[in-house]
C-alpha cells in the first residue's frame, strides 16, 4: 500500500521558519527576563485605620509595614466628607445652620451674628477652615470643579468661610485631589506613592494639571486611576497623556476579576498607547468580597501564581480583617505582607517600581520567514490527509506561493494582525495533529515481519517513551511558531489575546481522526484499497449500537464537554476543591505546574497505545487512544496561547507534563502487564 510522502521542500521551509521562530522566542525570553521587579503595595488609608483600631502610633505602623517588605502606599483623592470626618474642616448646609439657630443649638456667636444679619442662604453649602493652608488648597480645587460663579468668599473670624452653590450630597463626595502632606508623609516613611486619582466630570485640562502638579517632587511608583473611567475621559485624555509623559510615570491597569485582560476603564487603551506600552504595568488585587473567604496561606500562594503566570507587576495587598490565632490584627497583617514578600523573593523577584516590558516587536524578516513556515505547514498537512494533493507536487508548491503571499502582504503593508492570529491558530491546531500523524506513518512504514516481531516489555516501554518525547517535540514546534506569531508587548500585557482557544482544543482531535481513517481501515483490514475517511465515517454512523454503548458514548460526551468547557482563557464551570488541592500540590512541587489534561489523560493514553499494538488489541481501541493522546499534544501547545505567561514557564510546564505523563503511562502499562500475567481460573 502506497504511503503518504513528505515533501522535502515543504519540510525545508518549515525548518527555516522554525529557526526564525526560535530566534523570536529567544528575544521574547530576554525581554521577559528583564521584568522581574514587582511593586508590593497596600493602601495608606488602611494602615491609618489599622493604627486606629490597634491604638498604635501611625509612624510605628508605617515603620513595621516598611520592614515587612511593602514598597508603595496607595494614596487616594480626598473628599470634603473625609476631611470633615477627620476634623480638618467644618462643612454644613445653610438649612442645617438655620435649624441649629432656631432650636437654640447654635453656640457660636459669630455664626449667630451671620444668621441674624441675613447673610445665610438655606440652599447653599458653607465650609469653615481649621487650617488656613489646607483651606486655600481646597478653595483652589473647588474653583476648578464648580467655577468662580458658584462660590462666595465671606469674611469670618479674621479669615473667611466659603459659600458654595451645589448639591450637598454630591458635592461632599467630589474628589478634591491629593493632600500634599499625605504624599510627603508616605515618602518620608520610605515608601513610594502609588497615586490613585479619580476623574471628575466635566473634566478640564486645568483639573488634570492640578492633579499631577501635586505629584511634583514626590517619589511616585505608578499611577492607577481609581474610577470606571480614565482621568481626562472622555475629551481630555491627551492632557493626561502629556502630563504622564512629562513626568515619565508608569500607568497601572487593573486586572479584571476573571483574571483576563483588564477592569474596563473608559479611555484606558488610548492613554496606555499614548504614553507608550513600555510604561504600562498590570495590577492585581484579591477582590474585596473574596479575600475574607480565603485562608491566608491560599492568599499568599496566589500572589506567586499571579506574578509568575500573568505578568502581574503591581500587587495591591489588602489587610485581613480577622486575626490569626494568638496574634493581634497588626501582627497578622505584617506576617501576611512579609510572607508574600519572602515568597516572591524566593521566586527570583526584586522589589521597587513595577518593571515594564520594552516596546518589543520582532524584526519583519523574522516574521516573514515564520509566516512562510506556517504556510508550508498548512500545505504539508493537506498533503497528509489527501492522497490526491499528496501526489501533486506542483500543486503543493503553487499553493505554498499564493498562501505565503496572502499571509505576508499585510505584514509588508504595516498591518497583518489578523494574519498573525491566523498563523498562531494554524500552528496551534496543525502541529499536534502532524505529530500524531508522523507516528501513524511510522507504524505504517513497519513491515509485516517487524510488526510480528516480539520485543521485551521493558523495550516496549522505552520505545513508547521515546516516541512520546519525539511526538511532544513536534507539537512544541507549533508552540514555537504560535509564540513567534504573537510575540509583542500588546500580547504580553493582554491588550490583545489569542482567540479561539476552545476550537484549538477540538480541531487537532478531528484532524487526527481524519488522518487515522485515511491510513487504517477499521472494517476491512485485509483490503488492498486505500482507506477512505469519509466512507469509514459513514459506516461508523450505520453501526447498530446497544443501550450500554449509548450509555458509554454519553459518558464520553460529558467528559468531552467538561474538557472543552475547562479549556481557554476562561472556564465554563467551577474547579472542584479536590482539583484545587491537587493543583496546589503540583505548584509546590514544580516550577511550572503540569496541566492535568496532559499529565493524567493525553500522555498516558499515548503510552497505552503502544501497549495496545504490542498486545494486538482491536484497531478500534488504538483509534480511540490516538484521539485521547491528541488531547495531551494539543494541550501542550494550547498552554502557549496564554501569551501573558512567560515563554520559559510555558515550556517548563509542557516538558514537565510530557515526562511525568510518560512515567504515569509506563506505570499503567506495568499494571496491565501484571494483570495479564495473573492466571485466570474458570468458574467451571
**Cis-peptide, bond into residue 487, ω within 30° of zero:** no
Q: Which pLDDT score, from 0 to 100, does residue 343 have? A: 92
**Cis-peptide, bond into residue 274, ω within 30° of zero:** no
Q: Tell me the chain's radius of gyration from C-alpha atoms.
A: 33
Is the CB of residue 78 less than 8 Å from the CB of residue 176? yes
> What letters, b where the CB count within 10 A reaches 16 and e where it falls short, cover 66-75?
eebbbbbbbb
Cα torsion 101, 104, 106, 108: sign? positive
Question: Which residue do the cell numbers 490569626 mark?
Answer: 324
Is the CB of residue 571 less than 8 Å from the CB of residue 565? yes
> What letters, b where the CB count within 10 A reaches 16 and e where it falls short, cover 363-383?
eeebbbbbbbbbbbbbbbbbb
Question: Which residue do the cell numbers 525581554 mark?
Answer: 31
Is the CB of residue 410 less than 8 Å from the CB of residue 464? no
Residue 43 main-chain phi, psi, to 5 deg = -80, 130
User: Residue 473: how many CA atoms within 13 Å on its side-chain side?
Assistant: 8
Is the CB of residue 226 less than 8 Å from the CB of residue 253? no
> What letters, b where the CB count within 10 A reaches 16 and e where it falls short, cover 298-336?
ebbbbbbebbbbbbbbbbbbbbbeeeeeeeebbebbbbb
Divide the 684 residues of the chain into consecutive groups of 10 and give the mean pLDDT of each group. Answer: 85 96 94 92 93 89 93 91 84 82 73 75 83 83 84 81 86 86 92 91 86 92 90 89 93 84 86 92 89 85 86 92 83 93 92 91 93 95 90 91 93 86 94 93 70 75 92 94 92 86 87 87 66 71 63 55 53 52 59 76 89 80 89 90 88 89 90 80 55
User: Residue 217: how many CA atoms within 13 Å on its side-chain side?
Assistant: 8
Q: Which pLDDT score, from 0 to 100, does residue 327 have? A: 83
The strand pair at 280-284 and 312-316 is best described as: parallel
Distances from the Cα of 447 to the Cα of 186, 277, 442, 450, 604, angstroms:
77, 58, 10, 5, 26
Residues in contact with 119: Cβ distance below 8 Å, sequence separation at least 6, in sequence order? 154
Q: Which pLDDT score, from 0 to 100, does residue 87 have? A: 80
Integer Cα distance of 41 and 70 in angstroms: 6
- The H or E element containing residue 74 is strand 72-76
The strand pair at 159-164 and 151-156 is best described as: antiparallel
Is the CB of residue 662 less than 8 Å from the CB of residue 501? no
Q: Which pLDDT score, from 0 to 100, does residue 161 have? A: 82
| SS percent in the chain: helix, strand, coil, step 5 | 60, 10, 30
Q: Residue 216, exposed/middle/buried by CB under 10 A (0-12, 13-18, 19+)?
A: exposed
Integer Cα distance of 218 and 189 in angstroms: 12
Integer Cα distance of 599 and 656 in angstroms: 9
Q: Does the pTM of the predicted model rise above 0.95?
A: no
- The H or E element containing residue 411 is helix 393-412
Q: Which pLDDT score, from 0 to 100, does residue 569 have? A: 46
Give 159's strand partners: 156
Neighbours of 183 (CB within 10 A): 21
User: Per CATH, is 36-77+177-351 categorized as 3.20.20.370?
Assistant: yes
DSSP code for 313: E
Integer Cα distance of 595 and 532 in angstroms: 35
- Where do the H-state alpha helices sit in 200-284? 205-213, 237-247, 268-275
Q: Which pLDDT score, from 0 to 100, does residue 587 have? A: 59
Is the CB of residue 498 less than 8 Å from the CB of residue 35? no
Q: Which pLDDT score, from 0 to 100, does residue 86 have? A: 81
Integer Cα distance of 268 and 529 in angstroms: 62
Three-class secondary structure of residue 314 per DSSP: strand
User: Residue 486: how many CA atoms within 13 Å on its side-chain side?
Assistant: 31
Integer Cα distance of 376 and 382 in angstroms: 10
Integer Cα distance of 460 and 338 in angstroms: 51
Size of the chain in residues: 684
Amino acid at each position: 500500500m502506497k504511503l503518504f510522502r513528505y515533501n522535502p521542500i515543504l519540510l525545508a521551509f518549515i525548518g527555516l521558519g522554525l529557526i526564525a521562530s526560535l530566534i523570536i522566542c529567544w528575544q521574547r525570553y530576554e525581554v521577559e527576563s528583564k521584568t522581574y521587579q514587582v511593586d508590593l503595595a497596600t493602601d495608606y488609608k488602611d494602615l491609618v485605620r489599622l493604627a486606629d483600631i490597634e491604638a498604635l502610633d501611625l509612624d510605628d505602623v508605617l515603620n513595621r509595614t516598611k520592614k515587612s517588605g511593602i514598597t508603595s502606599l496607595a494614596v487616594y483623592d480626598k473628599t470634603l466628607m473625609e476631611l470633615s470626618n477627620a476634623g480638618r474642616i467644618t462643612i454644613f448646609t445653610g438649612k442645617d445652620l438655620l435649624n441649629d439657630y432656631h432650636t437654640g443649638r447654635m453656640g457660636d456667636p459669630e455664626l449667630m451674628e451671620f444668621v441674624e444679619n441675613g447673610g445665610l442662604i438655606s440652599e447653599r453649602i458653607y465650609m469653615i477652615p481649621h487650617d488656613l493652608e489646607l483651606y486655600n488648597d481646597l478653595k483652589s480645587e473647588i474653583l476648578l470643579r464648580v467655577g468662580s460663579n458658584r462660590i462666595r468668599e465671606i469674611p469670618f473670624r479674621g479669615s473667611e468661610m466659603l459659600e458654595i452653590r451645589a448639591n450637598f450630597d454630591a458635592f461632599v463626595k467630589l474628589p478634591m485631589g491629593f493632600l500634599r502632606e499625605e504624599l510627603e508623609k508616605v515618602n518620608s516613611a520610605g515608601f513610594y506613592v502609588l497615586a490613585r486619582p479619580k476623574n471628575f466630570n466635566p473634566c478640564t485640562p486645568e483639573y488634570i494639571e492640578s492633579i499631577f502638579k501635586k505629584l511634583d517632587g514626590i517619589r511616585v511608583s505608578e499611577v492607577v486611576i481609581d474610577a470606571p473611567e480614565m482621568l481626562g475621559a472622555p475629551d481630555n485624555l491627551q492632557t493626561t497623556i502629556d502630563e504622564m509623559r512629562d513626568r515619565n510615570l508608569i500607568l497601572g491597569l487593573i486586572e479584571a476579576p476573571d483574571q483576563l485582560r483588564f477592569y474596563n476603564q473608559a479611555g484606558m487603551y488610548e492613554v496606555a498607547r499614548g504614553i507608550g506600552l513600555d510604561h504600562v504595568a498590570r495590577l492585581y488585587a484579591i477582590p474585596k468580597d473574596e479575600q475574607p473567604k480565603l485562608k491566608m496561606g491560599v492568599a499568599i500562594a496566589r500572589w506567586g501564581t499571579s506574578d509568575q503566570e500573568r505578568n502581574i507587576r503591581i500587587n495591591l495587598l489588602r489587610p485581613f480583617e480577622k486575626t490569626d490565632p494568638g496574634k493581634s490584627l497588626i501582627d497578622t497583617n505584617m506576617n501576611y505582607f512579609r510572607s508574600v514578600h519572602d515568597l516572591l523573593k524566593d521566586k527570583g523577584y526584586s522589589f521597587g517600581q513595577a518593571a515594564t516590558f520594552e516596546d518589543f516587536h520582532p524584526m519583519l524578516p523574522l516574521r516573514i520567514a515564520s509566516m512562510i513556515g506556517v504556510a508550508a505547514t498548512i500545505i504539508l498537512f493537506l498533503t497528509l490527509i489527501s492522497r490526491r494533493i499528496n501526489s501533486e507536487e506542483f500543486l503543493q508548491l503553487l499553493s505554498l506561493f499564493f498562501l505565503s503571499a496572502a499571509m505576508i502582504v499585510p505584514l509588508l503593508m504595516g498591518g497583518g494582525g489578523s494574519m498573525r492570529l491566523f498563523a498562531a491558530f494554524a500552528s496551534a491546531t496543525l502541529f499536534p495533529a502532524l505529530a500524531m500523524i508522523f507516528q501513524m506513518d511510522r507504524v505504517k512504514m513497519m513491515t509485516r515481519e517487524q510488526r510480528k516481531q516480539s520485543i521485551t516489555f521493558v523495550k516496549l516501554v522505552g520505545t513508547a517513551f521515546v516516541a512520546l518525547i519525539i511526538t511532544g517535540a513536534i507539537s512544541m514546534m507549533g508552540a514555537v511558531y504560535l509564540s513567534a506569531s504573537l510575540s509583542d508587548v500588546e500580547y504580553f500585557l493582554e491588550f490583545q489575546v489569542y482567540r479561539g482557544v476552545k476550537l484549538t482544543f477540538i480541531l487537532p482531535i478531528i484532524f487526527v481522526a481524519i488522518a487515522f481513517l485515511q491510513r487504517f481501515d477499521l472494517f476491512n483490514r485485509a483490503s488492498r484499497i486505500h482507506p477512505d475517511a469519509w466512507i469509514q465515517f459513514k459506516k461508523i454512523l450505520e453501526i447498530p449500537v446497544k443501550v450500554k454503548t449509548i450509555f458509554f458514548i454519553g459518558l464520553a460526551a460529558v467528559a468531552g464537554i467538561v474538557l472543552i468547557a475547562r479549556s481557554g482563557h476562561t472556564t465554563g464551570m467551577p474547579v472542584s476543591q479536590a482539583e484545587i488541592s491537587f493543583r496546589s500540590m503540583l505548584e509546590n512541587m514544580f516550577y511550572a505546574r503540569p496541566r492535568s489534561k496532559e499529565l493524567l489523560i493525553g500522555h498516558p493514553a499515548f503510552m497505552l497505545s503502544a501497549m495496545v499494538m504490542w498486545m494486538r488489541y482491536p484497531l478500534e481501541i488504538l483509534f480511540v487512544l490516538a484521539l485521547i493522546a491528541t488531547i495531551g499534544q494539543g494541550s501542550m501547545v494550547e498552554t502557549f496561547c496564554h501569551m501573558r505567561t512567560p515563554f520559559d514557564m510555558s515550556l517548563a510546564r509542557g516538558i514537565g507534563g510530557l515526562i511525568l505523563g510518560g512515567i504515569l503511562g509506563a506505570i499503567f502499562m506495568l499494571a496491565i502487564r501484571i494483570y495479564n500475567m495473573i492466571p485466570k481460573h474458570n468458574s467451571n
